[in-house]
Amino acid sequence: MQVLDVRRQSWMNMNDHFITVMQDPWYKALVELQDAITRSTSRFFSAQGLRTIHLPITTHSISSPMGLGSDSLPVKIDLFGVDTYLADSMQFMLEYGCRLNHVGAYYLMPSFRGESADETHLCQFYHSEAEIVGSIDDVMGLVEQYVQTMTSDIMAECGATVARFAKSTAHIDQLLNLKRPFPRITLDAAVELLNADPALVKHCEPGYRVLTRRGEQALIEHFGGFVWLTEQDHLAVPFYQAFADQEQRKAKASDLLFGLGEVVGSGERHATAAEVYAALEFHNVDAAAYDWYCKMRELQPLQTAGFGLGIERYICWLVTHNDVRDCQILPRFNGMVTIP
């Protein structure tokens, strides 16, 4: 197998990046993989009975508001004199979609984030998101099936391309042969396993914990490549995740760690409007933008759970690459004029 050693980071010179894209075989391969991911995703969710929804990219109800547990910065814009946001996720709309299709809903669309890009974060990235009627266990099972099916489809269609750029395909064989359910570890157990090393576990005010990227990598290595991190501190996740305990300390939220770290985030949602209002207060989030979200539950109660998979992070794992900024045809960086 020939492994190409083509220097990436052409996005560092955005004036000439589009020229490099036309010349570098890496980007032609990227188009091939993006296309295969899109077609596989559509086939998979259609077979599950989910329906795709065509949604706008603007919203007044961001899913990562500025409050406790926010894991991203929202992108606020002035749209003809009206303050609004570019979608950080349209998960809430997918929850709405579950009221329109009794099995669930999904989409592939861009997400916008306000923080700076780095090796594992993008300002604009592609999101594969789905919401189903069910529990956290149901959606974790769906994720496992989706990731394995999509990877199998890609290898069937684009195996030569993946092998051309990846250092090895052993990681792919490992995933395809991994028995379900995948390994799981709670946050409490993970902190104990990592000896609460401050380089691996970050303690945040007012009293919640998150794993650093190094901590995620330590867990991935310990479990041999793939692991679910479950029952995270509730204040460390957005308000909409359901409580996992009576004390409201833990969340029914799980991250699937592999490759660069968290590639999939999933969670079960609050079932009632009262639970949502309580969580909004707990996280110090203004409830005004979420009145409709609560009323939806009053009018049509429904237990749902969902997930989001970062396409560029998945591609990095697929071809054993270490920088998501190389996995876009047309990168977009906050505060920078880009062409085309």
Mean pLDDT of the chain: 94
* Rounded mean pLDDT, 109-116: 95
Q: Report the alpha-carbon distance of residue 226 to residue 180 in Å, rounded.
A: 11
Is 62 within a domain? Answer: yes
Is 163 within a domain? Answer: yes
Q: Quick check: 132 pLDDT over 70? A: yes
What tokens does 192 get?
A: 């104990």
Is 1 within a domain? Answer: no
* Rounded mean pLDDT, 19-34: 95
Q: Quick check: 156 pLDDT over 50? A: yes
Is 3 within a domain? Answer: no
Q: For the chain, what is the domain count?
A: 1
What do you get for the CA distance between the two ends of the chain, in Å?
A: 35
Is 333 within a domain? Answer: no
* Rounded mean pLDDT, 107-120: 96
60: Cβ–Cβ under 8 A, 6 or more apart, which residues? Answer: 84, 85, 289
Q: Report the alpha-carbon distance of residue 263 to residue 260 in Å, rounded.
A: 7
| Residue 64: other Cβ atoms inside 10 A | 22
Higher pLDDT, 216 or 68: 216
Can you give the pLDDT at residue 213? Answer: 96
Q: Report the alpha-carbon distance of residue 103 to residue 304 in Å, rounded.
A: 10
**Cis upstream peptide for 181 (omega within 30°):** yes
DSSP string, 279-314: HHHHTT--GGGGHHHHHHHHHS---EEEEEEEHHHH
Q: Quick check: 4 pLDDT over 50? A: no
165: Cβ–Cβ under 8 A, 6 or more apart, which residues? Answer: 3, 4, 26, 29, 319, 320, 321
Is 144 within a domain? Answer: yes
Q: Quick check: 274 pLDDT over 50? A: yes
Which pLDDT band, with edges at 50, 70 and 90, does 115 fall under? very high
pLDDT tens figures, 174-204? 999 999 999 999 999 999 999 999 999 999 9
Q: Can you give the residue range of the structural domain that contains 110?
A: 10-326
Question: Which CATH number fits the domain that encloses residue 125?
Answer: 3.30.930.10
Is 339 within a domain? Answer: no
| 3-class secondary structure, 267 | strand
Q: Report the alpha-carbon distance of residue 296 to residue 6 in Å, rounded.
A: 51
Q: Quick check: 1 pLDDT over 50? A: no
Can you give the pLDDT at residue 5? Answer: 44
Which pLDDT band, with edges at 50, 70 and 90, does 68 fall under? low
Where does the chain have alpha helices with state H? 17-23, 25-48, 91-98, 136-165, 170-176, 187-193, 213-222, 273-282, 291-299, 311-318
Lowest-confidence pick of 6-10, 169-173, 334-338: 6-10
